[in-house]
């Protein structure tokens, strides 16, 4: 199994090299040279498979012969030891709860799988690895917990000061050991820019083996395809193909769904549901992607003004705008609309949404209103509402119960390093 850069100016590489590098030397993102395909009987067997079994079979397609089956099975069973329930809120609307992992966010899927994959590859090479990750909230905590104590790997997390929830911040700044958190004076886009610069900086790469834990890393993206299969397995027989509404920021979550469809999963449509940071919905309308500074919203993990995975999306469709529009329907919503739907869903269904999942519900409702033939909508629930207790309380008057594994972090002292948004400072820090 070989991987190539979206910019096509770098040599093809193995999965190991793609994972360890994070991004290609030319600055592009890795995708399979040839997209694999599911075995003929896989979809028939799908309803009977447990999630780790789905992960093993789908993951093996992307690993090829590079990882022994027993190693891949150990990675899959170790990474996914929590449930992935599909909850019905009505005949047409379902919520796929992706927040039952250790840090109560969907990022646990990619982070835990990637950590185990990297650990296996690092043991093979014997070289120390530095993982750098920019986060707008949940990625940082998921990566921190997934890599905590992993031998041979140190993790540096960049997060925007004052732009993550208090619970998110405590989850990523209180661990210590091989985890370092840098509190950047700026936006997520500043953090992402600095991380990307570090990955291709000659001075850093001469002295360090550096990789990314953001969804620019193919090891994050592959496992994000697994839960699309799990959703379809639980949905059962339907009159039409399911429509997935995906709360979107850096667009790794949605791109994972595109991978699932490309290798053989039946999907009717993807909804790219964003907050005020609507550069991709605007692209779908106008045909032009115009990156801009991110705007701070209540759904802060989606506050991205220049989404990295857009490069993979246009590559998968050979830059064919009409083909992209056929599969992806874009929409964006304000904070006021987000609060309103959180209140309405609680009143009508007794179900509590976090502000990101709420944007996904708005996306489905908007799409369903214009497409009456769409019979089954699946919204990806990206985070537990307790991680955004202040917003939930503002919207519903309810203070969500804090899971014990989240509450345990709130009283721990914060360990972060105040940082500027200048790359030179990051370069100096990494080399020091």
Domains, the chain, in order of start with CATH, read 84-104+221-401 (3.40.50.1100)
Instruction: List, in order, residues 6 or more apart from 267 with CB less than 8 Å away.
Output: 228, 241, 242, 243, 244, 257, 260, 261, 327
Task: Provide CB contacts within 8 A for 316, sequence distance 6+.
Answer: 31, 255, 258, 262
Q: What is the pLDDT of residue 251?
A: 92
Using only C-alpha atoms, the chain has a radius of gyration, in whole angstroms, of 20
Positions marked active-site: 107
d(CA 54, CA 229): 7
Residue 102 CA to residue 274 CA, distance in Å, equals: 25
Task: For 242-281, give one letter per residue: b (16+ CB within 10 A) or e.
Answer: bbbbbbbbbbbbbbbbbbbbbbbbebbbbbbbbbbbbbbb
How many separate helices (H) and strands (E) can be counted in the chain?
20, 13
Task: Give this prediction's pTM.
Answer: 0.90
* Per-residue confidence (pLDDT) for residue 364, from 0 to 100: 97
The dihedral built from the CA positions of residue 19, 37, 234 and 316, taken in this order, carries a sign that is: positive
Q: For residue 168, which of 391, 387, 417 has the smallest C-alpha distance?
A: 387
Distance in angstroms (rounded) separating the CA atoms of residues 280 and 307: 8
Residues 332/245, Cβ–Cβ less than 8 Å: no
> In 299-416, where does DSSP find H-type helix?
310-316, 321-327, 335-349, 355-370, 389-396, 404-410
Closest C-alpha to 94, from 368, 397, 400: 368
pLDDT score for 65: 92
Distance in angstroms between the alpha carbons of the first and the last residue of the chain:
37
Query: Would you state the pLDDT for residue 346?
Result: 97
C-alpha closest to that of 113 among 56, 168, 159, 157:
56
Q: What is the pLDDT of residue 234?
A: 95
> Contact 230/54 with Cβ under 8 angstroms?
yes
User: Residue 387's pLDDT is what?
Assistant: 87
> Is residue 18 a contact partner of residue 220, using CB atoms and an 8 Å limit?
no
Q: What span, in angstroms and rounded, lies between the C-alpha atoms of 231 and 24?
A: 32
Dist. CA 101–CA 263, nearest whole Å: 26
Confidence at residue 79, expressed as pLDDT on a 0 to 100 scale:
96
Residue 152's nearest CA partner among 120, 176, 184, 181 is 120
Tokens of 57: 């079979």
pLDDT at 171: 84
What average pLDDT is seen over the chain? 93
Two structure tokens written together for 245: 């509404």
**225 φ, ψ to 5°?**
-85, -20
Residues of the chain with pLDDT under 70: none
pLDDT of residue 56: 97
Tokens 């799988």 found at: 113
CB neighbour list of residue 42: distance below 8 Å, 6 or more residues apart: 57, 264
Per DSSP, the residues of 108-132 read HHHHHHHHHHHHHHHHHH---EEEE
What span, in angstroms and rounded, lies between the C-alpha atoms of 205 and 199? 7
């Amino acid at each position: 199994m070989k991987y190539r850069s979206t910019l096509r100016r770098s040599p093809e590489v193995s999965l190991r090299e793609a994972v360890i590098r994070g991004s290609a030397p030319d600055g592009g993102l890795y995708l399979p040279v040839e997209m694999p395909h599911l075995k003929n009987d896989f979809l028939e067997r799908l309803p009977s498979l447990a999630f780790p079994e789905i992960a093993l079979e789908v993951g093996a397609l992307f690993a090829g012969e590079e990882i022994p089956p027993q190693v891949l099975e150990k990675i899959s069973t170790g990474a996914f030891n929590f449930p992935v329930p599909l909850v019905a809120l009505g005949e047409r609307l379902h919520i796929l709860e992706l927040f039952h992992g250790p840090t109560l966010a969907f990022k646990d899927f990619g982070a835990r799988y990637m950590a185990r994959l990297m650990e296996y590859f690092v043991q093979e090479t014997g070289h120390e690895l530095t993982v750098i990750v920019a986060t707008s909230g949940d990625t940082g905590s998921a990566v921190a917990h997934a890599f905590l104590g992993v031998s041979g790997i140190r993790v540096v997390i960049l997060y925007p000061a004052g732009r993550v929830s208090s619970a998110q911040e405590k989850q990523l700044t209180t661990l210590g050991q091989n985890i370092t958190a840098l509190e950047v004076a700026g936006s997520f886009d500043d953090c992402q820019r600095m991380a990307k610069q570090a990955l291709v900086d000659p001075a850093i790469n001469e002295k360090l083996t550096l990789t990314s834990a953001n969804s620019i890393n193919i090891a994050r993206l592959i496992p994000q395809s697994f839960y699309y299969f799990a959703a379809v397995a639980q949905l059962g027989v339907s009159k039409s193909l399911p429509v997935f509404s995906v709360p979107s920021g850096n667009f790794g979550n949605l791109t994972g769904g595109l991978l699932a469809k490309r290798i053989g999963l039946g999907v009717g449509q993807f909804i790219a549901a964003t907050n005020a940071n609507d550069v991709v919905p605007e692209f779908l309308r106008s045909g032009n992607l115009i990156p801009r500074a991110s705007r701070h919203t209540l759904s802060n993990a989606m506050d991205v003004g220049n989404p990295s995975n857009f490069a993979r999306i246009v590559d998968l469709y050979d830059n064919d705008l009409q083909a992209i529009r056929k599969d992806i329907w874009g929409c964006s919503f304000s904070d006021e609309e987000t609060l309103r739907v959180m209140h309405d869903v609680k009143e009508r269904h007794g179900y509590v949404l976090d502000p990101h999942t709420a944007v996904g519900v708005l996306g489905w409702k908007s799409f369903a209103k214009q497409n009456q033939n769409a019979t089954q909508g699946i919204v990806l629930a990206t985070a537990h509402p307790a991680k955004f207790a202040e917003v939930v309380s503002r919207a519903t008057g309810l203070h969500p119960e804090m899971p014990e594994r989240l509450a345990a972090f709130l009283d721990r002292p914060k360990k972060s390093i105040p940082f500027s948004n200048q790359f030179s400072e990051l370069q100096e820090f990494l080399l020091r």
